[in-house]
Structure 1
Amino acid sequence: MAEPLDAALTEVRALLLDPALTRAVAAGRRRGQRPSVIRAELRPVTLKAGPRLQISTSDGARPYTRNVAPGSDAAAAVDALLAEPFGNWHVETADATLQLRVTKSGEAQVHRAAATRPAATPGGHDREKEYLLDPGDPFFAEIGGSAAKRRQVDAFLRALAATLPDELTGALRVVDLGCGNAYLTFAAYRYLTGRGLDVELVGVDVREDQRQRNTELAERLGWADRVRFVAGTIADAVVEPAPDLVLALHACDTATDEALARAVRWNARWVLAAPCCHHDVAAQLRARPAPAPYELLTRQGILRERFADVLTDALRAGLLRLHGYRAEVVEFVDSQHTPRNLLIRARQTGTAPTAEQLRDYRELVDQWQVSPRLETLLATDAPVVTG
């Protein structure tokens, strides 16, 4: 049943400012309106200065994260976000979950449920022992080690562990393209060095302020001699020598394609890419009718967007296979934490593509009349996919 939007947002506000908040995400847009950012995520963190509300936003090109103090600062920041015309809110607390969707008529459809995850029990350490990084590691104190962040770090590290061979030893050069606030970058370094590897890691982000922030954090952790950051675009940032492992986690839209293209040109041995939005192929699908008999796949906007996600990542994986990689698309983290939960995991094998792989890729592209950005970026290196 629809509810007045103002009353529903007042309830959301109370949950966002509740000390029991664990995570909240705002996304989408209301009919005929556009928020100033495409996504906002809120979560509590504990810093050296005390508890803070961490607010991470993205305008589709770059992320921005800030930590605000409880009280009037947090209330003002929350009110500003609630004033944005987001179409959806998802709020989790220790006790409950609320999902709000703004209808076309401007009312609120609200679903409320009790928390699905049991509260932690005193002295219960069995779950903590399963983490690849000890939750008490000083690393978490620096990045703000909330339970949700530890879960995401652990999910990422398990995907990384499954990608690299167990017998890997010696030196490992790593680059993280579009590293943002770099907490997964640092987590990778901490985990890999814990395996006895001699790791040299470079984080790339377009923002100079992020480079400075991440460099300062590397210095505080005592890792500045092995972990460095450069400001530049994914396509053009100078990274020398070429890396063995390429990370690209939640790079927006075609930025993921730029990261995959650089990985292929570097002939990187391993690639982990968690795509974010998929606007490029979605726009191409909107511009022309779907091939028969698939009109029902793209007639509805939400189905077209989800299909564009699937088609984009399927074509990316297919292109990687054509360039000598064994590529898989797997779940990154549980969908309850983020809808963008897929991970493209690739290992360089040097195997030439088969005629069947070439044919299947070409037929899929031709049937849907799309021009994958990754194919364009690799065109000079990949005559095999043009015919």
Structure 2
Amino acid sequence: MTRPLAEVLGEVRGHLVAEESLVRAVASGRQKASQPRWRRVELRYVDLKAGRHLQVTAYDATQAHTSNHAVGADAAQAVDGLLAETFGNWHVETTTQTHQVRVTKRLDAVLSTSDRAQPVGVERGHDREKQRLLPEDDPVFRALGLTDGSGRMKPSRQAKYRQVEDFLQILDSSVSEALGSGRLRRPTAEAPLRVVDLGCGNAYLTFTAHRYLTSERGLPVAMTGVDVREQSRDHNSAVAAGLGLAAGSMEFVAGDIATVALDPAPEVVLALHACDTATDEALARAVGWEASLVLAAPCCHHDVAAQLRKAPTPAPYSSLTRHGILRERFADTLTDGLRSSLMRLEGYRVDVMQFVESQHTPRNTLLRAVRSGGSGRGDGNADVREEYDELVAAWGLRPRLGELLGR
């Protein structure tokens, strides 16, 4: 049932200023025809030497900005400022309930509230390490060989731990937004959320995504990992058995991304660092399955780079392809830009964002696509189609994803 936006935000405000019961709150998305200052904002209360403060972590396109506001008038003012931003979704967790707010196209609001099975405590520590979505002593990291016998992350595995954390942050916000907007159905024990990780490899992100969604978010999940190597299937299945994960909750199969058969079709598709056109195959499968949410972090971009070497460069852009390193970087950008346009034409809203910081890997782009409810095979946005056609014609390209989608 829709209600006046101001009325619902008033209820949200009550939860946000309740220092004793607020566990965590996240604001994200945007209202129709508007753009909030921040891409995402997280709120929690922390105990500092100066007393209890509301900690606000605001994310722009490239980094996080943290500020602390003393409980009372300062915190209330910060809350009011954030509520005045045009966020499209609010996810609020208290010690006893979870509240999900979605702003409609008519600028009304839908509020969904669910009770926790049992009350939870609140972590007030301000140490950033304590805010990890999965703590390093979680059993899943031991099973994956990332931590030692004492539950401490191995020095050689710190970069992998950071990658996992960054991915879980994106997954968390993406699932919250999709659930809040109604683009992703709310799963039940009888009908769990169907998630597939295409090209899962050693399944670090497969296992940690499953662990976070089930243990921390409390969502019923049926996860499938797909990799072409039978060795990966056997190894990952053994790890799953060691963690006590039943076949209905976690399963691994050996097969090609382009041909693997999954029935019923997955609702969330992950494709993280699938090499070159394997990312295109994953995106095409997601479209064919009509997946509600797609998170794809491309790896190498050899296909378009090779085409750029063969085709004449249109004037006046020869300086972009004359030098090998610039041509490679331009191929990366061009490939993902074309992928974004094609997914938009297939009925998805697409965000291109940073996955992990560039000092950890140069391949740090992630495409997030949320199905917007269109048919997916219509003409889509005419401007997007015209822009895509002109771009591939000017550079003489045949993008693999375009071929797979028949575009």
TM-score class, shorter = 0.5 to 0.7
Partner of 1:217: 239
Residue deviations 1:163-206 (CA, integer Å, cap 9, x gap): 11354632210010000000100011001112111100110000
1:371 counterpart letter in structure 2: R
Cα deviation for residue 125 of structure 1 reads 7.8
State the partner residue of 1:371.
Answer: 398
In the alignment, structure 1 residue 150 sits paired with structure 2 residue 161: yes
How do 1:178-217 residues align onto structure 2 when only pairs under 5 Å count?
A: 178-194=199-215, 195-217=217-239
Correspondent of 1:294 among 317, 323, 341: 317
3-state DSSP of counterpart to 2:401: helix
Residues 321-336 of structure 1 aligned to structure 2 (within 5 Å): 321-336=344-359
Does the CA contact (< 8 Å) of 1:169 and 1:196 recur in 2? no
TM-score (norm 1): 0.65
Q: Which residue of 1 aligns with 2:186?
A: 169
Q: Aligned with 2:335: secondary structure? A: helix
Is the partner of 2:246 in helix, strand or coil?
A: coil
Amino acid in structure 2 at the alignment position of 1:197: L
- The answer to whether 1:282 aligns with 2:305 is yes
- Alignment partner of 2:127: what SS? coil
Of 250, 255, 267, the residue aligned with 1:244 is 267
- AA partner of residue 198 (structure 2): L
Distance 1:163 1:329, change over 3 A: same
Measured after TM superposition, the shift of residue 147 of structure 1 is 2.5
In 2: Cα distance, 1:162 partner to 1:305 partner: 31
Matched pairs, number:
257
- Residues 308-367 of structure 1: CA deviation (Å, up to 9, x unaligned): 000000000000000000011100000111111100110000346221111111111111
CA distance in 1, matches of 2:133, 2:266: 24
Give SS of 2:222's match: strand
Q: Which runs of 5+ in 1 are unaligned?
A: 1-123, 380-384
Given candidates 385, 391, 394, the residue that maps to 1:358 is 385
Q: TM-score, normalization: structure 2?
A: 0.61
Is the 1:215–1:224 Cα contact (8 Å) retained in structure 2?
no
Taking the aligned partners of 1:354 and 1:211, their CA distance within structure 2 comes to: 40
Structural mapping, 1:1-387, within 5 Å: 126-143=127-144, 144-145=146-147, 146-165=157-176, 167=180, 169-170=186-187, 171-194=192-215, 195-225=217-247, 226-351=249-374, 353-379=380-406, 385=407
2:59 corresponds to? none
Paired AA for residue 193 in structure 2: L
Deviation at 1:239, TM superposition (A): 1.4
Contact 1:234/1:255 (8 A) holds in 2: yes
Distance 1:240 1:180 in 2: 21
- For 1:54, the equivalent position in structure 2 comes to none
Q: Deviations over 1:101-138 (max 9, x none)?
A: xxxxxxxxxxxxxxxxxxxxxxx981221211121111
Structure-2 residue corresponding to 1:38: none
Looking at structure 2, the residues matched to 240 and 221 of structure 1 have their Cα atoms a distance apart, in angstroms, of 25
Q: Which residue of 2 aligns with 1:64?
A: none
SS of the equivalent of 2:321 reads: helix
String of CA shifts for 1:209-250, please: whole Å, max 9, x gaps: 110000000000111321000001110112111000000000
Identity of aligned residues (%): 60
Q: Secondary structure at the residue paired with 2:176?
A: coil
How large is the Cα RMSD of the aligned pairs? 1.4
Conserved in 2, the CA contact under 8 Å of 1:297 and 1:304? yes
Per-residue deviation, 1:286: 0.1
